[in-house]
Amino acid sequence: MTLAFDPIEEAGRNWDAHEWGATAAMKAATALTRAHQIVQSRIDTALAPLDLNFSRFEVLALLSFSQAGELPMGKIGDRLQVHAASVTNTIQRLEASGFVERVAHPDDGRAVLARMLPAGRRVAREAAGALAAIEFGVDGLASGARARVHRDLTGFRAANGDFS
């Protein structure tokens, strides 16, 4: 279903006509939402054949980059900025796929380590290739636009306390 006009521009005209205010902000926020949906959908499509979605891939990538190939659950949640319950769910899914295992933390009886298994390391590399091949879904952004968006959104994230 492709519309013959930009629904965001149409919404902007209506927004103005009704004097609802902040039209430019509305258009920027809505464009951001739509663009995100497109990117996410393309990424998930590329990862589906590998029995992964983006969340699960992010966990595998994080474990790939860690020294020992293992991290406590909480650390994973902090880094990926997702809720602890979501981490539990994601790790269970990865465990069911045979990509990670859960082991007790040696020094802290409360903590659980997620540890990468060989199949996980293999699929992570493969998934990275699949994502690079589709340019993370943003090949529709020329390199200039890509850098601008990255820079502007990084400033936005900083302004909103995403990191400091």
Partner DNA sequence: AGGAAATAGTTTGATGTCCAAGTACTTCTG
Partner DNA sequence: CAGAAGTACTTGGACATCAAACTATTTCCT
Give the interface with DNA as residue ranges (CB under 7 A).
Answer: 37, 53, 55-56, 72-75, 77, 82-91, 93, 102, 105, 108-113
Measured from the CB of residue 16, what is the shortest distance to its own copies in angstroms?
11
The rounded radius of gyration (Å) of the Cα atoms in the chain is 20
Which one among 27, 75, 93, 115 touches its own copies, defined by CB under 8 A? 27
C-beta of residue 99 within 8 angstroms of C-beta of residue 116: yes
Within 8 A by CB and 6+ apart from 21, the residues are 15
Measured from the CB of residue 142, what is the shortest distance to DNA in angstroms?
27
Measured from the CB of residue 46, what is the shortest distance to its own copies in angstroms?
11
- 16 Cα distance to chain centroid: 33
Which one among 67, 109, 110, 163 touches its own copies, defined by CB under 8 A? 163
Of 44-73, binders to its own copies (CB under 8 A) are 54, 61, 64-65
Residue written as token pair 């991290």: 71
Q: Is 108 in the site for its own copies (CB under 8 A)?
A: no
C-beta of residue 103 within 8 angstroms of C-beta of residue 89: no
Amino acid, res. 122 = R
